[in-house]
Structure 1
Amino acid sequence: MKLRPDPVDIHVGSKLRLRRTLLGMSQEKLGEAVSLTFQQIQKYERGSNRIGASRLHQLARVLEVPVAFFFEEAPMTGGRGNMLAEPAQAGYEGEDHLSRRETLELVRSYYRIPDPAVRKRIFELVKSVGSMSAELAD
């Protein structure tokens, strides 16, 4: 019987993917930096393989974030088999909008705009369109 990945492992993997993508780094490049294959990075990002403490420390150094970054907003669980695990797993929906490729590409592109005034106007435009869309949906 194959167990589902733990929600915390999924969360840590999605944070790994988020940071790697925001830096514009490929899975191959990250793998090379920590002496792993890109397939292993894929498994970490999906949460199907757990990341050990020393490896997480190594990844944090390469991605220039504190280790705590990977656990920000992580689901609260007591681990597999613990009574706390089931409610947390049931309520955890996995990847959110912030870790979708489309969102990451939008953020990266936004910060590539050199003129702060242009960035601000684009930000206001997107907020306005989003607000109008939300009002129309109601």
Structure 2
Amino acid sequence: MANANLSKAPSQADIDVGRKVRFQRIVYGLSQADLGAALSVARQQIQKYENGTNRLRGDQIDTLSKLFKVPIQYFYEYDPERSGLPFVEQQQADDDMFRFVRSKAGKELNFAFLRIRDPEGKRQVAALVESLTRKDDNGS
């Protein structure tokens, strides 16, 4: 018998996993229908996964990790800057990020970053970008 006290509202974990699925789908240029075909589910089901309304099964997460070439842990990593944000704010931030990733500059930056093989080099580039954003935030 199901526990009547379980909430029907999406959990923060489901929302976070769905957000990462949506991000990867868009980065790879897939439609919800394309991703649905890869998981043998309808486009509407992908929409529910991305919104955190429905939970992905373990075998689906495994398929997604192979499709997107990310470790399974990627979908469960905690992001303190985003976790707990209201869903609407998460969607807006994601939309801003997706617009950049799909832009010419975003693609060039991401592909150049992917060509860096040295993990320390990647950390240095990330640190440089972070320091530049702090300067912008401080009005310098």
TM-score (norm 2): 0.63
How many residues in Structure 1 have an aligned counterpart in Structure 2? 113
**1:112 alignment partner in structure 2:** 107
1:27-47: CA deviations, max 9, x gaps?
111111121111111000001
Report the CA distance shift for 1:97/1:37 in structure 2 as closer, same or farther (over 3 A).
closer
Query: Structure 2: how far apart are the matches of 1:74 and 1:53?
Result: 21
Report the CA distance shift for 1:94/1:53 in structure 2 as closer, same or farther (over 3 A).
farther
Report the CA distance shift for 1:10/1:97 in structure 2 as closer, same or farther (over 3 A).
closer
Instruction: Give the conservation status (yes or no) of the 8 Å contact 1:14–1:99.
Output: no
User: In the alignment, residue 23 of structure 2 is paired with which amino acid?
Assistant: L
**2:34 alignment partner in structure 1:** 29
Report the CA distance shift for 1:22/1:101 in structure 2 as closer, same or farther (over 3 A).
same
Instruction: Give the conservation status (yes or no) of the 8 Å contact 1:17–1:99.
Output: no
Instruction: Give the conservation status (yes or no) of the 8 Å contact 1:14–1:46.
Output: yes
1:75-114: CA deviations, max 9, x gaps?
7xxxxxxxxxxxxxxx812453795122112123224348
3-state secondary structure, aligned to 2:41: coil
Instruction: Give the conservation status (yes or no) of the 8 Å contact 1:97–1:103.
Output: no
Query: Structure 1: how far apart are the matches of 2:39 and 2:64?
Result: 7
Q: Which runs of 5+ in 1 are unaligned?
A: 76-90, 117-123
Q: Which runs of 5+ in 2 are unaligned?
A: 113-128
Query: Structure 2: how far apart are the matches of 1:57 and 1:66?
Result: 9
Query: Structure 1: how far apart are the matches of 2:86 and 2:74?
Result: 17
User: Are positions 1:65 and 2:65 aligned together?
Assistant: no
3-state secondary structure, aligned to 1:100: helix
Report the CA distance shift for 1:61/1:36 in structure 2 as closer, same or farther (over 3 A).
same
Identify which of structures 1 and 2 has the higher relative contact order when contacts are C-alpha pairs closer than 8 Å and 6+ apart: 1
**2:85 alignment partner in structure 1:** 93
Q: What value does the CA root-mean-square deviation take over the aligned residues? A: 3.5
Instruction: Give the conservation status (yes or no) of the 8 Å contact 1:13–1:46.
Output: yes
Q: Alignment partner for residue 49 of structure 1, among 32, 48, 54?
A: 54
